[in-house]
Amino acid sequence: MNLKDDTSLSLAATAYPGLTSGQKVFTFIGFTGLMIGLIGISDSLFSTGLTLSISLSFICVGIIGYSYLLYRKQPAGIKNNYVWTRNLTNRGLTAWMIALILSGFYVLLYFFPKTLGLGDQANTGVISLFDPLSHFIKNKPASQWFVYGVLYTLAILVFGFKFLMKYKHSRYQQIRTVSVMFFQLCFAFMIPELLERLNQPSMDLKNMWPLNYYFFFDWNLDQLLKGGTLGIFLLGWGVAMIFIISPILTYFFGKRWYCSWVCGCGGLAETAGDPFRHLADTSLKAWKIERWLVHSVLILVIIMTSMVIYTYITGHSQVFFLNSYTIREGYGFFIGAIFSGVIGVGFYPLLGTRVWCRFGCPMAAILGIQQRFFSRFRISTNGGQCISCGQCSTYCEMGIDVRSYAQRGQNIVRASCVGCGICAEVCPRGVLKLENGSVDLFERTSIAPKSPKGD
Amino acid sequence: MHILIIGNGIAGITAARTIRKLSNHRITVISSESEYFFSRTALMYVYMGQMRWKDIIPYESWFWEKNKITLINDHVSNLDEQQKSLHTTSGKHLTYDKLILATGSSSNRLDIPGADLDGVTSLYSIQDLEYIESKSKYLQRAVIVGGGLIGVELAEMLHSRNIPVTFLVREASYSNAILPPEESAMINQQIKDHGIDLRLNTELKSIKGNDQGQLKSIITSNGEEIHCQFVGISVGVHPNISWLENSTIDMKKGILVDEFLQTNIADIYAIGDCAEIRKPDEGRKAIEPLWYTGRMMGEYVAQTICGLPSAYAPGIWFNSAKFFSIEYQVYGEINSILPQGQKTLFWQHSDVKKSIRINYTEDSVIGFNLMGVRFRQEVCEKWIATKTKIEIVLAGLELALFDPEFSSNYANEVREAYLKLTGISVLSERKRSYNSVYTFLKKSLRPSV
């Protein structure tokens, strides 16, 4: 036994108490649902609405029941026991397998939807299993994106429930989680699908450029411009979100109003990704990579979008020596699909849940610049109470070394902070608090007003 | 100038960092416990699997190189204060211009039969934690002895591994020499709620081994025998000074220092757990083995050494802890038994374990004791330092609330408790916002009238 390893102390299986019989029952129900789903996929005879309903509801009941039993009797406060000793949450075999399955799913989804059963005439496989639901909601057969939307939304809802149970003592976490669940269900899923059913231009009202990098693509602009009053409204709304609504909200509340309260990527990270938040790299090196990478993507999306708009207006696809279609396809492939999907979600169990948000999302980059220089938001530190334990840094999903500020009695004003508030939850000494205040807008990063012993 | 620091705990490392901020002196830190500074208070989280060993190390390795602080992982064997030099066990010979002793403390041992048996330990160092880890497998029961913070931490650690724990506390209620009765009772309940077998008014009489010399059971002061394979002792700490017995440095329980944290020998200072203040401030102890005092002493001694002589003035008392999931904060003077002339306002949540206690006199508030509720240190300190009357504090109690956003505003309930207690109704006059807190604290920078 040597403490000086990177790994945690106890890899002994005795550390983890295992499942109660109730939890085993719900685990069984969940896996049964999965099996039923697989039967529905493999045999077209069973590819019915009933199969899908049973499968999905069994999976949901399994996860919800399991979470309920897990946290029901736990006293207030978060206990992240065994996090670094369990296979699943410490990059063990289970974690690698889940990563492989998830990223594999994304590869199929983005690049080989036919293998998932997308058909020109009729669907088969997974996609056909979702046909009845798709017909019910929007009177059309399912597409791979419909399947993805349903699964994504369900993941946020059921793991959102788990999160609500885990943080049942904290109203901030409760309200924030209900918010991401609401925006995913209504704004990201139901409203766009219903608009489609009504043959109206469809849009996720909260998904703004540049996260929604195709907002200015010709097909989207055409859809909106030809979509009558609603289309014009949606176009105006999208532009207003970028230039008016988002800066105002970020000034008042920091980027958290979006990243951990509204955004779908953030929503999945905060709910389904919660067990992996500690895997974010906290080193200075990671911070350096983060700043280079995320701002490069921001520059790239600005160049790409400018070229796309130029082409839309002038009809010329060639801008200097670059072809705007090539650039746009390249961005969609490497950033839109590989980075945000395959790596961003697929690698949750290996790199933590905010890889995309931290290293890639150009929206987060813009909001971050504003948060750093012109926002009332900061995390304040309670005098000299920090004991440098590092819980805050360990459980920061954005890999911010919160402790390095807290132990100096300094406010934390970092571009990448999404304001999830977990640092304040796990702090054993009540040192951190998320706050908004205008009085010290340009001195937020200085040492707190009176903390002679803080540093 | 070469400044040598023995000990890389919070006191020694804070001294090194502060000296570096103030000067370009050569700095060397020696420790035999660990290569790098780590957060001692977080050792329990490593055991519980909440953090890895590297997560409780606050500075990455490049930090020391960048700040030109030399770290030596070695044990100091003897000191030659006349020659201003010392030897290490690996044979190194080091000289210094200024020496800072920050050697910390060690756990007290119990002088009872069986105290040396394998399976009996305290929790202080990394080595202790490694030992506890090595003993943790296949434990059927562990017994924890002593009503200090380490005792609760040990209980929580073992509990996290589903090891049944019996917790012996000598007093009639947990930590009742420090906590007032209601808070103490709350912690008793908290310990029991976690399934710990808490035995109050019970001491450890002896520890018994079997024929193979393995720990078998303990006998309590009531004569009861409890079978166990592990005994955790938490009966306080004592300064690590035995290695200085042959030196000319003045010592009592700890290394005696003046208000500049200097020993009787010029250019030798002592800080942190190992230091004993010759004339402590009123209401303060000569030895205060705490993270916070270690850190403050490190800052003061650094200033003094760097030519800004600063008499150690720890200011208004504060401390914090966590008992399972109950956070505890204290600011100012809180006695377990209310002294003459003091009054107490106590509010307790009706369902969950939360309480707020404000002690005060006719003229001023003097102390805040918080359980499961977070208060702002700076605000409480300002109220105490500027001798603010209880009713003014109550009217502005929102300023002190530090619980996360959307948390309940307990200020109203505290004011109601005051109304019940005294018949005086106080209305809320302040907002909970950061702006109002900031404005309030900024005013405190001006000299008070």
Q: What is the mean pLDDT of each run of 10 residues along chain B (449 residues)?
A: 97 98 97 95 96 96 96 95 95 97 96 94 95 92 93 95 96 95 97 95 96 93 96 96 95 98 97 97 93 97 97 95 95 96 96 95 97 96 96 97 95 97 95 92 59
Q: Which positions ≥6 away from A296 have C-beta within 8 Å?
A: none
Distances A132 to A30, A138, A140, A338, B142 between C-alpha atoms, Å: 22, 10, 9, 30, 59
B contacts of A409 (beta carbons < 8 Å): none
Residue B343, Cα to own-chain centre: how many angstroms? 27
* ipTM for the whole predicted complex goes beyond 0.90: yes
Indicate yes or no: CB of B53 within 8 angstroms of CB of A85: no
Indicate yes or no: CB of B439 within 8 angstroms of CB of A439: yes
CB B398 within 8 A of CB B434: no
Using CA atoms, how far apart are residues B432 and A432, in angstroms rounded to an integer? 16
Single-letter code of the amino acid located at B96: Y
Using CA atoms, how far apart are residues A252 and A371, in angstroms rounded to an integer? 10
Using CA atoms, how far apart are residues B21 and B27, in angstroms rounded to an integer? 12
Q: Which of B56, B53, B41 is nearest to B150 (CA)?
A: B41
Taking CA A332 as the corner, what is the angle to CA A329 and CA A336, rounded to the nearest 5 degrees?
A: 170
Across A101-105, A440-444, B299-303, least confident range: A440-444
CB B160 within 8 A of CB A80: no
pLDDT at residue A422, as a whole number: 97
pTM of the predicted model as reported, rounded to 2 decimal places? 0.94
Q: How far apart are the first and last CA of chain A?
A: 35
Given 3-state DSSP classes, what are the helix, strand and coil percentages for chain A, each rounded to the nearest 5?
60, 5, 35
Distance (Å) from the alpha carbon of B92 to chain A's nearest alpha carbon = 24
Using CA atoms, how far apart are residues B202 and B220, in angstroms rounded to an integer? 7
Lookup: tokens for B436:
């109002």
- The bridge status of strand B76-80 relative to strand B85-88 is antiparallel
- A-to-B residue pairs, Cβ atoms closer than 8 angstroms: 203
B98-117: buried (b, 16+ CB within 10 Å) or exposed (e) per residue? bbbbbbbbbbeebebebeeb
pLDDT at residue A15, as a whole number: 54
Distances B105 to B5, B236, B280, B317 between C-alpha atoms, Å: 15, 10, 19, 21
pLDDT at residue B444, as a whole number: 55
Indicate yes or no: CB of B296 within 8 angstroms of CB of A383: no
Interface of B with A in 186-205 (CB under 8 A): 193-194
Task: Enumerate the β-bridge partners of residue A378.
Answer: A435
pLDDT at residue A454, as a whole number: 38
Interface of A with B in 434-453 (CB under 8 A): 434-440, 448-453
Is residue B281 helix, strand or coil? coil
The pLDDT tens digits for A76-90 are 778 899 999 999 999
Interface of B with A in 315-354 (CB under 8 A): 315, 318, 320-322, 324-325, 327, 329, 352
- The bridge status of strand B318-323 relative to strand B326-332 is antiparallel
Interface with B, mutate which of A5, A9, A173, A407 (most B CBs under 10 A): A9
pLDDT at residue A10, as a whole number: 42
Q: Which of A206, A204, A343, A349 is nearest to A272 (CA)?
A: A349
Q: Residue A441's pLDDT band (boundaries 50, 70, 90)?
A: confident
| Winning range, highest mean pLDDT, from A34-38, A223-227, A403-407 | A403-407
**pLDDT surpasses 50 at A451:** no
Q: Which positions ≥6 away from B44 have C-beta within 8 Å?
A: B123, B153, B154, B156, B157
Lookup: tokens for B420:
């019940």
Lookup: tokens for B292:
């916070």
pLDDT at residue B447, as a whole number: 46
Distance (Å) from the alpha carbon of A127 to chain B's nearest alpha carbon = 40
**Which has more confidence, A453 or A35?**
A35
Q: Which of B80, B90, B407, B419 is nearest to B243 (CA)?
A: B80
Is residue B72 helix, strand or coil? strand
CA B54, B57, B63, B69 dihedral sign is: negative
Lookup: tokens for B212:
């193979």
Single-letter code of the amino acid located at A244: I
Single-letter code of the amino acid located at A364: A
Residue B377: how many CB atoms within 10 A of its CB? 29
Q: Which positions ≥6 away from B116 have C-beta within 8 Å?
A: none
Average pLDDT of A390-396?
97
Indicate yes or no: CB of B322 within 8 angstroms of CB of A1: no
A172 — contact with chain B (CB < 8 Å)? Answer: yes
CA B400, B402, B405, B411: dihedral to nearest 10 degrees? -40
DSSP B340: T
- B299: phi then psi, degrees, rounded to nearest 5: -70, -45
Is residue B399 helix, strand or coil? helix
- B277: phi then psi, degrees, rounded to nearest 5: -75, 130
CB B273 within 8 A of CB B236: no
- The bridge status of strand B275-277 relative to strand B318-323 is unpaired
The pLDDT tens digits for A143-165 are 999 999 999 999 999 999 999 99
pLDDT at residue A447, as a whole number: 62
Average pLDDT of A32-41?
90
Indicate yes or no: CB of B41 within 8 angstroms of CB of A404: no
pLDDT at residue B15, as a whole number: 98
**pLDDT surpasses 60 at A14:** no
DSSP H or E stretch at residue B238: strand B237-239
**pLDDT surpasses 50 at A6:** no
- A248: phi then psi, degrees, rounded to nearest 5: -65, -50
Please give the residue of chain B at the shortest CA–CA distance from A78: B325
**pLDDT surpasses 60 at A9:** no
pLDDT at residue A16, as a whole number: 65
Beta-strand ranges (E) seen in B249-391 are: 255-257, 268-270, 275-277, 318-323, 326-332, 343-348, 355-360, 365-371
Distance (Å) from the alpha carbon of A253 to chain B's nearest alpha carbon = 12
Nearest CB neighbour to B442, from listed A175, A424, A449: A449
Lookup: tokens for A215:
């907002």
pLDDT at residue A448, as a whole number: 55
Nearest CB neighbour to B329, from listed A10, A391, A430: A430
Distance (Å) from the alpha carbon of B344 to chain A's nearest alpha carbon = 23
Distances A358 to A365, B258, B319 between C-alpha atoms, Å: 8, 51, 36
Please give the residue of chain B at the shortest CA–CA distance from A87: B49
Using CA atoms, how far apart are residues B108 and B122, in angstroms rounded to an integer? 8
pLDDT at residue B110, as a whole number: 92
CB B39 within 8 A of CB B294: no
Please give the residue of chain B at the shortest CA–CA distance from A444: B438
B contacts of A384 (beta carbons < 8 Å): 292, 295-296, 318, 377
